[in-house]
Structure 1
Amino acid sequence: MSTPPFATITWRDRTVQIECAWIAPEKADAPLIVFLHEGLGSVAMWKDFPAQVCEAANARGLVFSRPGYGRSTPRADDETWDVDFMHRQAHEVLPALFAALKLDGEKPWLFGHSDGGSISLLYASRFPDKVEGLVVLAPHIFVEDKTVANIEIARTAYLETDLAKKLGRYHDSADSAFWGWNRIWLHPPFRDWNIEAELGAIRCPVLAVQGIDDEYGTLAQIRGIAARAGGSCELLEIPECGHSPHRDQPDRVIVATASFITKNRRQTP
């Protein structure tokens, strides 16, 4: 990936810089894959995985850090996220980013991990005509007990270990990234968060991937997508794999993604 530029958007009544990195931008006629990171992710935390996916799928790529993450503008000191935080990313931030990058006329493929997968689903349900397809890894469509339990463990680790220092390698403000994610997931009203009813509006093909040993969710998440999505849905359930299939089983994910995009790509005359 090239040195990340920044896109400027207006969000929550202030100017926000969004860290971006492009992959193979010279392939003007190739499909575009937009990568949406997990709850503690960033451009840098993807490492070279997006480039490998784009090479295998003969695609361009856009990787970005959401507000509060990576080199993007951190959360304001008084900014707290509410139960609708993923909806706001899908309905407000992503359209603003696409507009800033002059991608309004494109129909990208969205590749989302964990929270990024949920945001991808929400974007495709709100804007069904603006996305070509989805690849979602370990997405959440409702809140499970094991998810909350492991996020509580992460909170303890952040307070009592060197996790903050480790996250500092990937974020300008580790506190912004960690607490923005952790506090809302542990906020009691968030236990009722559920996007199952919105999935029926999705019209594009979906590849939903989950590790059988996922510590943050059960297979009910991706099976629920298959049962409710308005478009076609393929499932990939990977053994010996936890919450990050692209790290635990990268080759399986790359091959499946490239095959899925090739098979479902709309050919232009």
Structure 2
Amino acid sequence: MDILIDTNRLRLSNDPKSFNPLLSTIIFLHDSLGCIKLWRDFPEELSKSSNCNVLSYDRQGYGKSDSFSELKRNKKYLHKEADVLAKLIDQLALKNVILFGHSDGGSIALLAASLYPEKIKGIITEGAHVFVEKETLQGIKDAKVAYETTNLKDKLAKYHGKKTEDVFRMWTETWLSPSFKDWNIESYLPGIQCSSLIIQGENDEYGSMDQVSSIVRKTSGDSKSLIIPNVGHTPHKEATEVVLKKTTDFTLNL
């Protein structure tokens, strides 16, 4: 059941009142073009295999959430999302929280675990970024071409509706802006005390293995990498069985 949290202007995938308070809760954080529906049935499958509550939400401006309040971002836009996430955890009185973040969602997970270590039990990231590199920028440039020359816009509109143009423009304009080239959150990594599983596809079109190496090397908690061969930026879709097994093992061992 979808419920609206007015104070955060977000759309949730489940009613937290139905959660088992004795179980951990995995919160799914979507990517820069994502939303609840684009996770498909992966959260439910992980819930069954790990015996955890699961919750995903559309960040403001995405999916079925409210429209963006601001139509221009600065270098702290992911920090703001980490703050919103922390407020959401408090508002819903969630305990033993595990974060599963994809791309932008992965960066948000890293920031939240560093800024609010007492709220986070563990984190799983896929294709997370901690700095800007040429692979990221080229991937976004290629996406711009696809948006203008293929049916990518129509595909995204199925999920974001009238917000589609803003979703795509704010992503591309922010990351391709000259002022964003020195964006870097590596200084936050030592503040991550919980265990983490850092997943990346070997052929990720938006980032190199340097992203994974930096995260694993600089976090304070027990951090392990999972590099999956022959897949790109969305391992949970491209190699579902592998990701499901490894993330299940990770959550059960926390």
- Identify the TM-score tier after normalising by the shorter chain: over 0.9
Residue 141 of structure 2 is matched in structure 1 by 152
Code of the residue aligned with 2:82 in structure 1: it is A
Question: What SS class does the counterpart of residue 207 from structure 1 fall into?
Answer: strand
Residue 124 of structure 2 is matched in structure 1 by 135
Residue 14 of structure 1 is matched in structure 2 by none
Structure 1 unpaired stretches of 5+: 11-16, 265-269
Give the drift of 1:26. Answer: 4.1
Q: Is the deviation greater in 188-197 or in 152-161?
A: 152-161
Task: Tell me if the contact between 2:29 and 2:100 (Cα under 8 Å) persists in the aligned partners.
Answer: yes
Would you say 1:49 and 2:42 are equivalent positions?
A: yes
Of 214, 222, 242, which aligns to 1:252?
A: 242
Give the drift of 1:83. Answer: 1.4
Of 36, 43, 56, which aligns to 1:63?
A: 56
Task: Tell me if the contact between 2:71 and 2:166 (Cα under 8 Å) persists in the aligned partners.
Answer: no
Instruction: Give me the whole-angstrom Cα distance separating, in 1, the residues matched to 2:166 and 2:48.
Output: 33
Give the direction of change, closer, same or farther, for the CA distance of 1:194–1:26 in structure 2 (3 Å limit).
closer
Residue 163 of structure 1 is matched in structure 2 by 152
Of all paired residues, the percent bearing the same amino acid is 36
Aligned length: 252
Code of the residue aligned with 1:161 in structure 2: it is T
Residue 98 of structure 2 is matched in structure 1 by 109
Code of the residue aligned with 2:136 in structure 1: it is T
Code of the residue aligned with 2:78 in structure 1: it is M
Instruction: Give me the whole-angstrom Cα distance separating, in 1, the residues matched to 2:226 and 2:2.
Output: 31
Instruction: Give me the whole-angstrom Cα distance separating, in 1, the residues matched to 2:19 and 2:217.
Output: 38
Q: Is the deviation greater in 153-162 or in 198-207?
A: 153-162
Superposed, 1:153-232 pairs within 5 Å as 153-172=142-161, 173-232=163-222
Instruction: Give me the whole-angstrom Cα distance separating, in 1, the residues matched to 2:23 and 2:33.
Output: 30
Residue 87 of structure 2 is matched in structure 1 by 96
Of 9, 22, 36, which aligns to 2:14?
A: 22
Residue 8 of structure 1 is matched in structure 2 by 6
Code of the residue aligned with 1:211 in structure 2: it is G
Instruction: Give me the whole-angstrom Cα distance separating, in 1, the residues matched to 2:19 and 2:185.
Output: 37
- What TM-score, normalized by structure 2, do the two folds share? 0.95
Task: Tell me if the contact between 2:2 and 2:15 (Cα under 8 Å) persists in the aligned partners.
Answer: no
Task: Tell me if the contact between 2:216 and 2:224 (Cα under 8 Å) persists in the aligned partners.
Answer: yes
Question: What SS class does the counterpart of residue 61 from structure 2 fall into?
Answer: coil
Give the drift of 1:97. Answer: 2.3
Code of the residue aligned with 2:151 in structure 1: it is D
Task: Tell me if the contact between 1:9 and 1:100 (Cα under 8 Å) persists in the aligned partners.
Answer: no
Task: Tell me if the contact between 1:112 and 1:136 (Cα under 8 Å) persists in the aligned partners.
Answer: yes
Q: Decide which structure has greater helix share.
A: 2
Residue 267 of structure 1 is matched in structure 2 by none
Task: Tell me if the contact between 1:9 and 1:97 (Cα under 8 Å) persists in the aligned partners.
Answer: no
Superposed, 1:121-132 pairs within 5 Å as 121-132=110-121
Q: Is the deviation greater in 179-188 or in 196-205?
A: 179-188
Structure 2 unpaired stretches of 5+: none
Give the drift of 1:23. Answer: 8.0
Deviations 1:1-55 (A, max 9, x none): xx32111125xxxxxx211112893433111000000110000111101111111
Give the drift of 1:231. Answer: 0.5
Would you say 1:240 and 2:230 are equivalent positions?
A: yes
Code of the residue aligned with 1:101 in structure 2: it is L
Instruction: Give me the whole-angstrom Cα distance separating, in 1, the residues matched to 2:63 and 2:112.
Output: 22
How well do the aligned residues superpose, as a CA RMSD in angstroms?
A: 1.5
Instruction: Give me the whole-angstrom Cα distance separating, in 2, the residues matched to 1:59 and 1:101.
Output: 16
Task: Tell me if the contact between 1:151 and 1:182 (Cα under 8 Å) persists in the aligned partners.
Answer: yes
- What TM-score, normalized by structure 1, do the two folds share? 0.90
Instruction: Give me the whole-angstrom Cα distance separating, in 1, the residues matched to 2:93 and 2:87.
Output: 10
Residue 86 of structure 1 is matched in structure 2 by 78
